[in-house]
C-alpha cells in the first residue's frame, strides 16, 4: 500500500524506528493525518483504560508509548490494535519514566502494524494545527470505546514544563480514555503524548459555574527522546538531533504556569504569570482569555469581560472566549448579551 506521506525508516538489524528532524515537508490534509493517526494509535484496556502509540518494532516485539497513569498499577492489560486484535501485556516489562508521566508497553505479534514517525516538538508554534486521537471510555450514550480524532491548534509550547513533563497545550476537544494517545503535527509526525484535559472547572459560591481555558495538555516528544536512553537503551533512541532550548522563559511558559496556577486556585499568582505572558507577547489571546477567567473567579466580572474582549479581538474565532464572556455578562444580569 502506498501511504500519502513520507516515511523515512532507519533500520538497525531487526529494529525499525522512524525518526526525522529538520526535514521540510508539505502539510497534509486533516484526512491524511487522520489515516496515519488511526493506524498508529492503539487502545490499552485495563483498570484505567487509555490509549497509546506504536513507536517501534524489534522482530515481533512492538513498543507502545503511553501515559504512565494509564498503566499506573499492576493489573492485566491488553493492547488492542487497529484491526481489533487483542494482545496481552506483561506488566513486569512496562517501563516508566522517573518524574515524567510516560511509560513504554510491549506486545508481541507477527502481524505488520504501522510505526509512527517521530517529529520535533520544539519546532511547533502557537497557532499551528495539531491533531489528537485516542479511545474515549464508554459512556451511557456510547457503550463501546470508539477511536476519536480531534483537530485543534497549539496554544502554548513551553520550554519549562509543569510537573510530570507536561508542556504542550492545545485547543483540541479530548475525552477520558484518550490519555496516552497521539498528538500529531500537520505532517502526521508524533510531537507529543496526550495526558490531561482540565479545561472546564471553576466553582463560584455554592453552585458550579464553568469557564473554558482550553487547557489540554501533552508531553512533548522531545522530553521523551531526552529521557528514553536511561529508561530503555535497547530502543536506540538517544535523542540525537533533538534541539535543546534556552532556559529563558517565554510567553508560552508564563501562559502555561499562569493557567496551571488558576486551576490550583492561586489567582494572584496566575495574574502575575499571565501579566508576564502578555508583556512578552501582547497578541497572546490564550493568556488574555485565562486572565479573564482569573478575574471571573475573583468575581470581577467587568475586568473579566474586558480580557475576553481583547482575546476575541486578537482571535475572532476564539470560541472559549465568547463562551466565557457570555457567562460573565449573565452573572452581571446582561442576559441579552450572552449570545453575542
- How sure is the predictor about 7, in pLDDT bands with cuts at 50, 70 and 90? very low
Gap between the Cα atoms of 96 and 41, Å rounded: 19
Gap between the Cα atoms of 218 and 25, Å rounded: 23
User: In this structure, what DSSP letter does residue 141 have?
Assistant: S
What is the fold, at CATH topology level, of the domain defined by 9-202+214-235?
Thrombin, subunit H (2.40.10)
CATH fit for domain 251-337, picks 3.40.50.720, 1.25.40.10, 3.20.20.240, 1.20.1050.10: 1.25.40.10
Gap between the Cα atoms of 304 and 330, Å rounded: 12
pLDDT given for residue 9 in this prediction: 38
Closest to 47 measured CA to CA, from 69, 24, 80, 62: 69
Give the Å distances, CA to CA, from 52 to 5, 115, 180, 331: 21, 12, 5, 42
More confident residue, 247 or 21: 247
pLDDT given for residue 207 in this prediction: 43
Nine-digit cell at 196?
490531561
What is the mean predicted confidence (pLDDT) over 312-329?
Answer: 92
pLDDT given for residue 209 in this prediction: 54
Please determine, for residue 293, whether its predicted confidence score (pLDDT) is greater than 70. yes
Please determine, for residue 42, whether its predicted confidence score (pLDDT) is greater than 80. yes
What is the mean predicted confidence (pLDDT) over 211-215?
Answer: 68
Nine-digit cell at 189?
509526525
- How sure is the predictor about 239, in pLDDT bands with cuts at 50, 70 and 90? low
What is the mean predicted confidence (pLDDT) over 196-217?
Answer: 58
User: In this structure, what DSSP letter does residue 250 have?
Assistant: -
pLDDT tens digits, 59-101: 999 999 999 999 999 999 999 999 999 999 999 999 999 999 9
pLDDT given for residue 173 in this prediction: 86
pLDDT given for residue 151 in this prediction: 94
Residue 35 CB partners (closer than 8 Å, separation 6+): 3, 4
Gap between the Cα atoms of 322 and 320, Å rounded: 5
Which of the residue ranges 9-13, 135-139, 187-191, 233-237 would you say has the lowest mean pLDDT?
9-13
Please determine, for residue 199, whether its predicted confidence score (pLDDT) is greater than 60. no
pTM above 0.75, yes or no: yes
Which of the residue ranges 173-177, 213-217, 229-233, 258-262 would you say has the lowest mean pLDDT?
213-217
Please determine, for residue 204, whether its predicted confidence score (pLDDT) is greater than 60. no
Please determine, for residue 192, whether its predicted confidence score (pLDDT) is greater than 50. yes
pLDDT given for residue 2 in this prediction: 33
Gap between the Cα atoms of 232 and 198, Å rounded: 31
What is the mean predicted confidence (pLDDT) over 166-176?
Answer: 90
Please determine, for residue 294, whether its predicted confidence score (pLDDT) is greater than 80. yes
pLDDT given for residue 321 in this prediction: 92
- How sure is the predictor about 241, in pLDDT bands with cuts at 50, 70 and 90? very low
Please determine, for residue 206, whether its predicted confidence score (pLDDT) is greater than 80. no
Nine-digit cell at 217?
495538555
How high is the mean pLDDT of the chain?
Answer: 85
Residue ranges per structural domain of the chain: 9-202+214-235, 251-337
More confident residue, 131 or 11: 131
Amino acid at each position: 500500500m502506498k501511504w500519502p506521506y513520507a516515511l523515512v525508516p532507519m533500520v538497525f538489524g531487526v529494529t525499525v524506528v522512524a525518526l526525522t528532524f529538520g526535514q521540510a515537508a508539505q502539510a497534509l490534509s486533516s484526512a491524511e493525518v487522520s489515516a496515519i493517526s488511526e493506524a498508529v494509535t492503539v487502545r490499552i484496556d485495563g483498570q484505567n483504560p487509555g490509549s497509546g502509540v506504536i513507536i517501534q518494532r524489534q522482530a515481533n516485539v512492538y513498543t507502545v508509548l503511553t501515559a504512565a497513569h494509564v498503566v499506573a498499577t499492576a493489573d492485566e492489560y491488553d493492547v488492542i490494535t487497529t484491526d481489533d486484535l487483542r494482545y496481552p501485556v506483561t506488566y513486569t516489562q512496562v517501563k516508566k519514566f522517573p518524574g515524567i508521566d510516560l511509560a513504554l508497553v510491549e506486545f508481541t505479534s507477527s502481524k505488520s502494524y504501522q510505526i509512527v514517525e517521530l517529529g520535533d516538538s520544539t519546532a511547533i508554534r502557537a497557532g499551528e494545527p495539531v491533531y489528537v486521537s485516542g479511545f474515549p471510555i464508554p459512556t451511557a450514550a456510547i457503550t463501546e470505546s470508539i477511536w476519536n480524532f480531534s483537530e485543534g491548534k497549539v496554544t502554548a509550547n513551553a520550554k519549562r514544563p509543569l510537573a510530570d513533563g507536561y508542556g504542550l497545550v492545545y485547543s483540541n476537544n479530548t475525552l477520558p480514555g484518550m490519555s496516552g494517545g497521539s498528538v500529531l503535527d500537520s505532517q502526521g509526525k508524533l510531537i507529543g503524548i496526550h495526558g490531561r484535559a482540565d479545561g472546564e472547572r471553576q466553582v463560584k459560591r455554592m453552585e458550579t459555574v464553568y469557564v473554558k481555558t482550553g487547557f489540554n495538555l501533552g508531553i512533548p516528544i522531545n522530553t521523551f527522546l531526552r529521557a528514553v536512553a536511561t529508561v530503555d537503551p535497547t530502543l536506540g533512541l538517544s535523542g540525537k538531533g533533538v534541539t535543546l532550548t534556552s532556559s529563558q522563559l517565554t510567553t508560552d511558559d508564563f501562559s502555561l504556569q499562569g493557567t496551571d496556577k488558576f486551576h490550583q486556585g492561586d489567582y494572584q499568582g496566575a495574574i502575575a504569570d499571565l501579566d508576564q505572558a502578555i508583556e512578552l507577547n501582547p497578541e497572546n489571546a490564550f493568556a488574555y482569555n485565562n486572565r479573564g477567567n482569573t478575574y471571573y473567579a475573583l468575581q470581577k466580572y467587568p475586568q473579566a469581560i474586558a480580557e475576553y474582549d481583547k482575546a476575541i479581538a486578537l482571535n475572532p474565532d476564539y470560541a472559549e472566549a465568547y463562551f466565557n464572556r457570555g457567562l460573565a455578562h449573565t452573572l452581571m444580569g446582561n442576559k441579552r448579551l450572552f449570545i453575542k
